[in-house]
Amino acid sequence: MREAIRFLRGDQIIELSDVAPTETLLDYLRLSERKVGTKEGCNEGDCGACTVALGRLVDGQLVYEPVNACIQLLGQVDGCEVVTIEDLAEDGRLHPVQEALARHHGSQCGFCTSGIAISLFTLYHQPAATPDRRTVNEALAGNLCRCTGYRPIADAALEVCFAEPDDQFSRRADQIAETLAGLHDGEEIFIGDETSFFAAPASIDALADLYSRHPDATLVAGATDVGLWITKQLRDLPKIIWLGRVAFLDRVEAIEEGLIIGATASLARVEPQIARLDPDLGAVWSRIGSRQVRASGTVGGNIANGSPIGDTPPMLIALGAMLELRKGETARTLPLEDFFIDYGKQDRGEGEFVTGIFVPAPGPNDVFRAYKISKRFDQDISAVMAAFLFTIEEGRIIHARVAFGGMAATPKRARRAEAALGGAVLAEPGTWGRALKAIERDFAPISDMRASAEYRVKVSRSLLAKALVEAAGMPSDRTRVQGHREAAETLV
């Protein structure tokens, strides 16, 4: 048992034993280290001013990913290298990313610049990144700049981020990787006492035992949601169990039947694998939060929190995903759709936790479509999230699974529309009418700041029509403004 966390800062291993359960990485950097280049802006993981880079070993390779320090618990950086804006310069010389930003006048007030520079630093170290504006936009989707404008920032990125990296981090990569490997000792972490603690079990058996003894503890995977409970709702969470050190809980395994996803696998790590099942999965996945959010947030957390507007559940429900849970020594599985009972209520007993998800691959006669409707293209919560799976024989739909988010208190299937789709002929739009009418009776959505109830109902009908039109063979460049499947399929 280890009573401290350890992480790498520069060439020094930092060991901390006085770590409060809900202390954030941002507070540690600004208040303890007095490294104030990392800014506090929105304090909820949206603006990117607090972006830092975490160096981690992924399949034995050193990888740098951006994270929002404001909603990253300090304990979560155990075993990582933490890189802030102060670390980029070497011997008084600016980092290539910083030089390019200055040369292209990519900063005015400067408040957002440190986060932008760190995001571009991670792009600078991203292997095989496609050198185009789209890649730059994706890298910067989690960084807001109110005064400079993005054109000079993007120009700087295009100039410098796609060559072979040549900085102190690339030159020390082997040494850093060796140090990080040494930090992964497989020990359990427990800091505090039985009434208040930060714990990080190293095995699933240890997690099951600890959670059975402390079912009132808060489980944390990526903290992209729990972080807001702390910074915005000011909740008192005296017991934190972080799942990030549990061995094999982050596995992502492609098998012939589909994809096995461990509960702590990050959205970023799952993204290339899920995109291989279908281009629409990849297209929606890339719009979940920002790179910072996807680097921390997990598929298991997106499901276990039970949000009615989570983006992954409708897609996974349409595909027929199965959920695995464990309590003590007992494990069970259930269809993902059955996990969501009511708003804020899931089929999860006291001391029970999600361990993984199995996502079946679409079959040879299946047509899958998924659409996310939101006010902003990037980093926005869905007003409506829709997913469709049609099984087709000789041009006729013989089975359908239709799932929506944002339309009810839970992610929910459109049962009436599914029944009405049975026997519909793709070449005969007149046979779709029953389903298009039925879907209007499947949901009674609410009006809120994202959309009115009337809008949501109309959009659900329109998205079903779009899915049927595309399934009938119309190219998506005629049905979509962007995210054309034909282009995506050449990359998957």
Phi/psi region, residue 32 (left: phi>0; alpha: psi -120 to 50; beta: rest), is alpha
Report if pTM > 0.85: yes
Q: Is the dihedral of CA 407, 408, 411, 413 positive or negative?
A: negative
Q: Tell me the C-alpha distance between 420 and 466, whole Å.
A: 16
Q: Which of 262, 271, 224 is nearest to 353 (CA)?
A: 262
Contact between residue 112 and residue 143 where contact means Cβ atoms under 8 Å apart: yes
- C-alpha neighbours within 13 Å on the C-beta side of residue 288: 27
Q: Tell me the C-alpha distance between 477 and 483, whole Å.
A: 8
CA distances from 276 to 132, 260, 271, 364, 491 (A): 22, 13, 9, 14, 9
Res 487: pLDDT: 63
Res 489: pLDDT: 61
CA distances from 377 to 281, 286, 387, 395 (A): 16, 10, 18, 33
Q: Which of 40, 8, 25, 33 is nearest to 74 (CA)?
A: 25
Q: Tell me the C-alpha distance between 107 and 74, whole Å.
A: 29
Q: Tell me the C-alpha distance between 171 and 274, whole Å.
A: 33
Q: Tell me the C-alpha distance between 301 and 263, whole Å.
A: 7
Res 307: pLDDT: 86
Contact between residue 38 and residue 69 where contact means Cβ atoms under 8 Å apart: yes
Alpha helices in 372-442 (DSSP H): 415-421, 433-438
Q: Tell me the C-alpha distance between 111 and 13, whole Å.
A: 29
Whole-number CA gyration radius for the chain:
23
If 0-12 CB within 10 Å is exposed, 13-18 middle and 19+ buried, where does residue 194 land? exposed
Residue 5: phi and psi, rounded to 5, are -100, 155
- pLDDT by residue for the chain (492 residues), tens only, comes to 999 999 999 999 999 999 999 999 999 999 999 999 999 999 999 999 999 999 999 989 999 999 999 999 999 999 999 999 999 999 999 999 999 999 999 999 999 999 999 999 999 999 989 999 999 999 999 999 989 989 999 999 999 999 999 999 999 999 999 999 999 999 999 999 999 999 999 999 999 999 999 999 999 999 999 999 999 999 999 999 999 999 999 999 999 999 999 999 999 999 999 999 999 999 999 999 999 999 999 999 999 988 888 999 999 999 999 999 999 999 999 999 999 999 989 999 999 999 999 999 999 999 999 999 999 988 899 999 999 999 999 999 999 999 999 999 999 999 999 999 999 999 999 999 999 999 999 999 999 999 999 999 999 999 999 999 999 999 999 999 877 786 666 444
Supply the DSSP symbol for 220: E
Residue type present at position 464:
L
Q: Which of 243, 215, 218 is nearest to 229 (CA)?
A: 218
Q: Tell me the C-alpha distance between 354 and 73, whole Å.
A: 21
